[in-house]
Amino acid sequence: MFIIIILLLLLLLLLLLLLLIIIIIIIIIIIIIIIIIIFIILILIIIIIIIIISSSSSSSSITIIIIIIIIIIIIIVIIIIIIIIIKITITITIAIIKFNTIIISFFKPILLFWSTQRYILLTRR
């Protein structure tokens, strides 16, 4: 009976850790989406400001080059942020899996001991 309880607790712990990994991944996806939306809004604001400035001045080719440079910089920043968030997600997932392995390795001797004790008791009868 005790072994079954320990196994059920281990199963519950594994399910909770899996749920934690899923929640972390969902939160990180939401953060990535929010960052992308913020940068798109920033790009639009910068483009509108540059269009307003360019309409008052005669140098339109310089403003187009400035717009392209700003868009490229913002895209590079978005890519770097997404890569950093993905690395953090992978690190957290690996840490949770290692923690899970440590817990399982902790309970393994206990389960082995109880199962051998039960086997000894059953064979004596």
Q: How many domains does the chain have?
A: 1
Q: What is the pTM of this model?
A: 0.53
SS3 of 125, please? coil
| Domain range enclosing 45 | 2-124
The string of pLDDT tens digits covering residues 17-59 is 778 878 888 888 888 888 888 888 887 887 787 777 767 666 6
Cα separations in angstroms, 62 against 57, 67, 70, 75: 10, 9, 12, 20
